[in-house]
Copies of this chain bind each other. A is one copy, B any other.
Amino acid sequence: MADKDFVKEIADIKEDFPRWYTDVVLKTELVDYGPVKGTMVIRPYGYAIWERIQRELDDRFKATGHKNAYFPMLIPYSFLTKEAEHVEGFAPEVAVVTHAGGEELAEKLVIRPTSETIFCEMYSKWVNSYRDLPMLLNQWANVVRWEKTTRPFLRTSEFLWQEGHTLHATAQEAEEETLKMLHVYAEFAKNVLAMPVLIGKKSEKEKFAGGEATYSMEAMMLDGKSLQAGTTHYFGQNFTKPFNIRFLDRDGTHKYPYQTSWGVSTRLIGALIMAHGDERGLCLPPPVAPVQIIIVPIAQKKEGVLQKCRELKEKLTASGIRAEVDESDNSPGWKFNQWEMKGVPCRYELGPRDIENGVVTVSRRTGSEKETVSLTEAVDGAGALLKEITDAMYEKASAFMQSHIRKVKTLSELENAVNSNCFALAHWCGNRECEDKVKELYQASTRNMPFDQSGAEKGKCVCCGKKAKHIIYFGRAY
């Protein structure tokens, strides 16, 4: 197959970004559609990315004092109703189990859409004294939210995620946890996904159902739309009171603890695809790439070539690099295209002449030149090369995001910004009416309010022109 035909397999990224996305996720075998509408099958190439994400995050959660646990997936329907906003937010999208073991159940059960209620139920049994606090648990689990419009990784009926649920003796400590985990997420996004994010506080309208405050990290996709890539929530005592979680404090009185939760999901895979991809397909950040270096043998039937490739692979593997040799009987050109589409960060070519000269031809997925390095350097320098690629991907994505943020003062500037695939950074009065109006007029929602709010009250609301309270990002979003 010629190079051009191969690229034709995926839609033009500039002409039809949504189809480019669907083509890429299906053709690189990251994912497939499940038989039940809205579900996805995460195939080995996609799941390997998720495993890397899990390992990296899990290490960070443990380093910040959290432990993993596993709570039941089936929750009595009545639990949802204990917090009024919570049931209003989640009841419309739950999947309901009415029969089990051949009988109709006395009480309907829901498959967890999120687990605040069942964590609280158990915490009410486990927490008695200030000595039991803070309670710092996380779980890796599947959740189900019945969605009308679905897309692989971005929005599916079932998805995989982690959900941290913590309890603290004081409001201050819980608020600190909420911000600490937001920063853990942002650091992870930068260093592991090579993805810059905007962190800040959500508006009242966009916060978690039942929470006091929600913080998010928003990533900019290549079409200028925002993808909410992770959230952390502060609940105050909104759940601990109805679930009657109380602890005996040092001062001898009973108190309700303060709560947080925080989560990221398989959505992150969608985020990194749309933050880094290009016309040739995926570009995977080295820290999560299932294959970091693909070795393509040239004239592989010539004696010694395959053996040398395998030796190189073994040396790379021994130094902690995920490397593979493509030994299939496809042509080198076909292999180049294949592995480029699959987003492998780095390619090593090795043929008879290279072997003679003791060198390897190196190409980066993100660049167009090839360079020749010694075999020794190809092994010893591989880690540094991958780090360089990661850093360059982050810099490129950051430059893209920075060049697609516009400060706007009027509605028409805002319209212009979002129509030009930009986020609009604007002053806002804080009223829901203005937020709704912008959404209705330009399909742009509030994303979040950056922590630096200096000068917020000096401006005027982009929508109503009244005295502003906040600076906030508006953008179209996934």
Contacts and interface: CB of A to CB of B under 8 A. Distances in A.
A148 interface: yes
A158 interface: yes
A95 B99 contact: yes
A116 to B, nearest CB: 14
Chain A interface SS verdict (over half):
mixed
Contacts of A102: 91-93, 146
A40 interface: yes
A69 B41 contact: yes
15 contacts: A34-B118, A35-B118, A41-B69, A44-B68, A44-B137, A47-B68, A47-B70, A48-B67, A51-B68, A70-B160, A74-B158, A92-B101, A94-B101, A97-B98, A102-B146
Given A48-B68, A67-B44, A69-B41, A35 B100 contact: no
Contacts of A125: 32
A67 B44 CA distance: 6
A67 B47 CA distance: 9
A144 interface: yes
Contacts of A71: 34, 41-42
Interface in A339-395: none
B70 A100 contact: no
A219 interface: no
A72 B32 CA distance: 11
The 5 A-B pairs of least Cβ separation, nearest first, read A101-B146, A44-B67, A39-B72, A95-B100, A34-B72
Contacts of A76: 35-36
A85 B47 CA distance: 32
A122 B41 contact: yes
A100 B109 contact: no
A75 interface: yes
Given A74-B39, A121-B35, A69 B44 contact: yes
A419 interface: no
> Which of A41, A76, A93 has most B Cβ within 10 Å?
A41
Contacts of A99: 95-96, 98
A298 B107 CA distance: 53
Nearest to A160: B70
A89 B73 CA distance: 23
Contact of A97 (B32, B97, B101): B97
Nearest to A136: B44
Nearest to A131: B328
Interface in A14-46: 32, 34-36, 39-44
Given A35-B118, A41-B122, A158-B74, A69 B47 contact: yes
A75 B118 contact: no
A188 interface: no
A31 B200 CA distance: 37
A137 B29 CA distance: 14
B95 A70 contact: no
A111 interface: yes
A130 interface: no
